[in-house]
Amino acid sequence: MQLVPSTTRGAVDRADDTVDRLLESGRRPDTVLVLTVGEPHPWQQHEIGFGEERYWAQLTEGGDVFYADATATRTVGREVVVLVVNSPVSTQGLTKAARAAHALAGELLLVCGDVDTVAPLFPGAGAPVPA
């Protein structure tokens, strides 16, 4: 698990940069799951525009990075999960999202958000990822 420091407002952009780096380093898109704690990721909003059934079919097909809400119950694990803390959230809500993301991450969990808010939930986290 690694922290990716960002502001709450900048968490989505930081997550997008993180996903780009993962893909550039050789990770396949179908091994990455991005979960948002606040407002849905813009790509998720775009894909849902084609209908819920089509949106969820993409998860099953597994051909690309998948974007979902951290509270979604239909998600499945992937090698890498990027948890995006893009909204102020209660400690209880963040703890629930963090547990769900951790359970879904096969190899690596990256958490994009305010370090002061996120770090206490992950005492064994690796050093923050530099910008």
80 and 27 Cβ atoms separated by less than 8 Å: yes
CA angle 79, 9, 101 (to 5 degrees): 25
Q: What is the mean pLDDT of residues 89-106?
A: 90
pLDDT at 90: 86
CA 35, CA 69: separation in Å to the nearest integer? Answer: 5
Q: Of 78, 105, 95, which Cα lies nearest the Cα of 2?
A: 105
Map out the domains of the chain as residue ranges.
2-121
Mean pLDDT of the chain: 90
- Percentage of residues in the chain with pLDDT exceeding 90? 64
CATH hierarchy code of domain 2-121: 3.40.50.300
Pure H helices in 7-90: 11-24, 42-48, 52-61
Q: Tens of pLDDT along 37-52?
A: 999 999 999 999 999 9
pTM of the model: 0.92
Q: Kind and range of the H or E element at 105?
A: strand 105-113
